[in-house]
Homo-oligomer: A and B are copies of this chain.
């Protein structure tokens, strides 16, 4: 382990975080399980990228077969990308019928921002103050973890994110209007400083913000404010998409909002680097007119085969309905546990959050202790939220009753030993 960490530091440089105080060294995956180099098995409650399960044989076979047949680019014609886009866009409403395929959610979001600029002729963007949309220079400016060289740009405004415990506007009922009011103010600031308002980018379930409980009509006033200002509404479905939330293939459908642009990533190829920007034809045309865009790897036949296999498995294994079935059971089970703190338990399909507080204050220490202790007992999980006090639990979609039973037993045993 020490030798491996030394090699890692030499090869990758400083400040490259691992998960866990003593990182795991994973060598094999299958379905909902991971194994480390010592043969220890872990229940994977963290990874959403292997959406249909680690190393799903149908995805592996699709990749292997296509890689042995042809892998080129999209300036030649190929049926793979067309069939995939037709299959994918059939799952969207709101005339979201055209697609650019790329390699990462960051690339997809980078395009989405330029689509908003192309449609509006303006430069300014709004996102929440507790989000993360990706790693390119342009997209990383939508989060403020560290200041860019030259300082924070004028054309970005970050607005207060919705929460469950201290709702904007003072109450859950007022939160939707208060969030929209924050956006309205930001729009006015962008118009005043000369940037103008191009678009709002958000994750419809506010996953990085901590998966707050929100009513289904929460985003209605926001959509109205964006439309009235002539801006573009971009829904980042990189985390909640592909049926994760159980109620619908895309989380914006749950949130009753009609985006102009939707971005997809992580689960799209079950780990193969593929992502996409989906747009209405008028939005796509504006982008294609304003920017010449070609992505060498984007939409290659192997990426499309992987992505298509993922759609096949989601459909054939009924994974969206499965998420809807599992979600209330897991939430109910979690509510039976004694977290030795206030535990605010939320679920949106197979995406769960346990917000831990003591006297209303974030209990980040407990969350951190739990993650480490669960790992020691063979369960992998993460934390989210600005105060890092929210357990993030987002397993491969086939997570079922037997996995849930093991999880609950392990959590119960672990919590029983909690020294905090």
A residues whose Cβ falls under 8 Å from a Cβ of B: 1, 4-5, 7-8, 10-19, 23-29, 34, 47, 49-50, 54-55, 57, 59-60, 63-64, 67-79, 81-82, 85-86, 89, 97-100, 102-107, 110, 113-114, 117-118, 121-123, 135-138, 140, 145-146, 148-150, 198, 265-266, 270-274, 279, 281, 284-285, 287-298, 300, 302-303
Apart from A11-B81, A122-B150, A136-B138, list 15 A-B contacts with CB within 8 A: A13-B98, A14-B284, A18-B76, A47-B72, A54-B71, A55-B68, A55-B71, A59-B67, A71-B271, A72-B271, A103-B103, A104-B297, A118-B149, A272-B302, A273-B303
- A121 to chain B: which residues have CB within 8 Å? 149
Most buried by B among A64, A138, A271: A271
Answer whether A105 and B24 are a contact pair too, CB < 8 Å, given A11-B89, A273-B303, A288-B13: no
**Chain A to chain B: the 8 pairs with minimum beta-carbon distance, closest first:** A137-B138, A64-B64, A13-B284, A103-B103, A71-B271, A117-B149, A273-B297, A11-B85
Q: CB within 8 A of A15: which of B13, B289, B303? A: B289
- A82 to chain B: which residues have CB within 8 Å? 4, 7-8, 11
Of chain B, the residue at the smallest CB distance from A8 is B82
- A19 to chain B: which residues have CB within 8 Å? 75-76
Q: CB within 8 A of A60: which of B67, B103, B123, B300? A: B67
Give, as a whole number of angstroms, the nearest-CB distance from A392 to chain B: 13
- A75 to chain B: which residues have CB within 8 Å? 17-19, 23
- A284 to chain B: which residues have CB within 8 Å? 12-14
A107 near B105: Cβ-Cβ < 8 Å: no
A149 near B122: Cβ-Cβ < 8 Å: yes
Give, as a whole number of angstroms, the nearest-CB distance from A151 to chain B: 10
Cα A14 to Cα B85 with chains together (Å): 15
B77 near A55: Cβ-Cβ < 8 Å: no
A300 near B271: Cβ-Cβ < 8 Å: yes
B49 near A296: Cβ-Cβ < 8 Å: yes
Q: Could you write out 17 A-B pairs with CB less than 8 Å apart?
A: A1-B77, A10-B98, A11-B99, A12-B100, A13-B284, A23-B76, A26-B72, A29-B69, A50-B72, A54-B71, A60-B64, A71-B270, A104-B297, A110-B136, A117-B150, A146-B291, A272-B273
